Structure 1
């Protein structure tokens, strides 16, 4: 290990009573829209009956102080790091040291529309497997909030996953003192983790992903022709995005046009984000209300929403969709590939086709491949036991 260079200050989440009261007042004044006939399965977007119940629960029953206590049950810190353009960033993170002397440092990175809370239920099982009747390895678990999300600072100039990856590397090496570490992620976190593996491969022991964001340079002579299976998958993915990319189109072009509504109305914020949980989660689409609540209990989703609301970070979170493409974070250069051993676990959703392994191997050094039987895009939050076991087993095989 190297010596700690950058200090990290202990941090505790504490929202004022006034902010909580203001939220309740705003929810009380919610003005609901009409709902077109035929929206029982959210074909037009977030369901009105679901939103009425969600807003009512957020206003009358949800206890932020209890949620706050649960968020604070693990040690948290904030560290100040300067990026290559000279901007300072305050990085918020959980840091739970694992059991024993041979722990593996592991950084877990969330995506959108999530927060660090997505990993809250897997921190303890990963750090202390013996408490859950599991064998090691045990991990020193680090869960940062993405820059511009939650309790990390809002950047003056939006930054993309590659720039965040450099900050994560410095967090692990200069703040926490690790020479080598492992990484896990999905969604935007998978972009960050993939860039970590490309830019700092000498420090990455292995990575585990639940999304494969890197696109190979297909015209490079080292790439084989697209197979029939890959061709079908590409077409199915394009068809899916034609139906579902509305949110991405707005956030990647004119996020400020949306920001005023989401910052001013908690119901607006909830309606915008809830649709993505419904679409991307492994929810029962035949019983839409019950299926959504069963997969994402109100306490869980309202904690996520409340973090965005109290920190005022929804716009800075959304702008990652503009900063990421501007940075070219998903595109590989000709001949470029992740060489770090990579485990991939695909969690099923009825809205997305299964990725061909041959496609993944164009961009990653695939060392382990799993298609999970349940769970969706927010795997650590939807199926924490399954997720923690899979991550532990993956790194046990690769390290």
Structure 2
């Protein structure tokens, strides 16, 4: 195993910082149309200028520093990551997650190194349609037939409304999908574009801002919205600063050219992925293909369509993305943990339980009120005492006043979890702890 050398992200060189501030203080903004055209022409000045001022006066690079993808084509990046996991870190097996170009790198690893790469997860559902090739005709004849029918009848008609989001016919089809304009220039003339983005921090900011605005959740924003609530100004400026201070936007956009012309990637892209694969679809992402296409291209073991998030799920909704990596955790367990986290005292617990009962159709009554005429058959009721305890009950449809009742659940104290060390011994570097429920109950 190769030795691992620590890497420390350097501080901003004083001359580099001075250059950045000087450029931000002396911006020459481009001419724009007098009429408001929203974001149709790209990032407007009214959105760019406030961020330039925030970058100049408020942002602190020393508090936020982050890594990025190596600036090589897809197959070369794949080899770098494989070497990192096996030769450098010493793992015999690993799993890979990727989105956007990371999907291509991940698929390359899944196809080329299935003995070590044991699972593949992606948040970008791009793949080959089941076209009438010998392989697809043999393995998925019905899927091929449906795809051919969709050409004539439309995707929504064949696969269902909302099952796909495909505008362009190719990687750089700007005529049918204007969002691919950036991809066309970066895949064909990255050096020419790089001059403007490298020399002008404001040009770089505007170039990236358009993507963060258009590709984040919700999909159809009001034109007045610059960044969504899920992405802070500092988070966005960190991305811009990282590119500018390291002078790496050129290698970043060159990645498109190299991948677009990478024979290794082109050879792998149409191949079937045999290792277990999972796909998470976020509603504001650029593209979406029918699940049937994914099943024809991957050993699909998990597929989920999320309620929020876009092209940057790790930044926009990181918790949701992490949950996609742990699908075996029952939702009931997640709900219970959320409930406990919101219940640091009996009062919080009682309030939370009351809210859940209301959502389930229970009606609040008062303990001291006269219940005659207020209680009905098939009714669901609850009451609280001193804000620290709660009682809920359901009246049966055949109940007759005077009949007895059956208690099916009760709790005599607050359901607070208590965590304490079992001993002072450690196992594998972790202190062993025990968990107990504070309070008794009948279930």
Work out which of the residue numbers 299, 303, 309 in structure 1 matches 2:244.
309
Structure having the higher helix fraction is: 1
Relative to structure 1, the CA distance from residue 321 to residue 335 in structure 2 (aligned partners, 3 Å threshold; closer, same or farther) is closer
Cα distance in 2 for residues equivalent to 1:392 and 1:66: 30
Aligned positions of 1:180-199 closer than 5 A: 180-199=93-112
The Cα of 1:325 is off from its aligned counterpart by: 1.5
Q: Does 1:295 align with 2:292?
A: no
C-alpha distance in structure 2 between counterparts of 1:375 and 1:54, whole Å:
22
Q: CA RMSD in A?
A: 2.6
Deviation at 1:57, TM superposition (A): 0.6
2:13 corresponds to: 16
Query: What CA deviation, in whole Å up to 9, does each residue of 1:63-86 have, x standing for no partner?
Result: 112224xx5xxxxxxxxxxxxxxx
CA gap of 1:291–1:386, structure 2 versus 1, over 3 A, is: farther
1:98 alignment partner in structure 2: none
1:250 paired with 2:185, answer yes
Consecutive unaligned residues of structure 1, counting only runs of 5 or more, are 72-115, 117-144, 149-158
Compute the displacement of 1:160 (Å).
Answer: 1.3
Indicate the residue corresponding to 1:28 in structure 2.
Answer: 25
Structure 2 gaps, min length 5:
156-163, 331-443
Alignment-derived partner of residue 321 in structure 1? 256
Give yes or no for the alignment of 1:265 onto 2:200: yes
1:376–1:382 Cα contact (<8 Å) kept = yes
CA pair 369-293 structure 1, distance change in 2 beyond 3 A = closer
| Counterpart for residue 152 of structure 1 | none
Matched, 1:342 2:277: yes
Does structure 1 retain, via aligned residues, the 8 Å contact 2:126–2:288?
Answer: no
Deviations 1:232-283 (A, max 9, x none): 2586343885311111111111111111111100000011111111121114
1:281-301: CA deviation from partner (whole Å, max 9, x where unpaired):
114644334352523211000
CA–CA distance in structure 1, aligned partners of residues 275 and 35 of structure 2: 48
Q: State TM-score, norm by structure 2.
A: 0.64
Q: Is the 8 A contact 2:271 2:297 kept in 1?
A: yes
Matched, 1:387 2:315: no
Give deviations 1:116-164, integer Å, cap 9, x for gaps. Answer: 4xxxxxxxxxxxxxxxxxxxxxxxxxxxx3222xxxxxxxxxx411121
Q: Does residue 211 of structure 2 align to residue 276 of structure 1?
A: yes
Q: Over residues 361-381 of structure 1, what are the superposed CA-to-partner deviations in whole Å (9 max), with x where a residue is unaligned?
A: 222111100000000000000
Alpha-carbon distance change, 346 to 264 in structure 1, aligned in 2, over 3 angstroms: same
Give distance in 2, aligned partners of 1:286 and 1:313: 30
Q: Is it true that 1:161 corresponds to 2:74 in the alignment?
A: yes
CA contact (8 A) 1:214 1:330 kept: no
Q: Distance in 2 between matches of 1:46 and 1:382?
A: 20
Determine the C-alpha separation between the residues in 2 that align with 1:279 and 1:352: 9
Q: What is the SS of the residue equivalent to 1:341? A: strand
Q: Which residue of 2 is the match for residue 85 of structure 1?
A: none
Match of 1:170 in 2: 83
Aligned pair partner of 1:57 in 54, 58, 61: 54
Contact 1:182–1:207 (CA<8 Å) still a contact in 2? yes
Alignment partner, residue 378 of structure 1? 312
Where 1:345 maps in the other structure, the secondary structure is strand
Where does residue 398 of structure 2 map in the other structure? none
| 1:131-142 → structure 2 map (5 Å cutoff) | none
Is 1:191–1:329's contact at 8 Å kept on the other side of the alignment?
no
* CA shift in 2, pair 1:32/1:51, >3 Å: same
Distance 2:194 2:122 in 1: 30
The 2-side partners of 1:13 and 1:284 are apart by 37
CA distance in structure 2 between the partners assigned to 1:285 and 1:244 by the alignment = 14
Q: 1:338-391 CA deviation, whole Å, 9 max, x = no partner?
A: 111111000011x74642011112221111000000000000000111111222
For 1:77, the equivalent position in structure 2 comes to: none
How far 1:199 sits from its partner (Å)? 0.6
Measure, in 2, the Cα distance between the counterparts of 1:167 and 1:372.
31
- Taking the aligned partners of 1:214 and 1:298, their CA distance within structure 2 comes to 33
The 8 Å contact of residues 128 and 270 in structure 2, kept in 1 or not, is answered as no
Distance in 1 separating the partners of 2:318 and 2:239 = 16
SS in 1 for 2:64: helix
Instruction: Give distance in 2, aligned partners of 1:208 and 1:64.
Output: 32
Question: How far has the Cα of 1:167 moved from its partner?
Answer: 1.3
Please state if 1:236 is matched with 2:149.
Answer: no
Q: Which has the higher contact order (CA 8 A, sep 6+)?
A: 1
**TM-score of the two chains, using structure 1 as the length reference:** 0.71
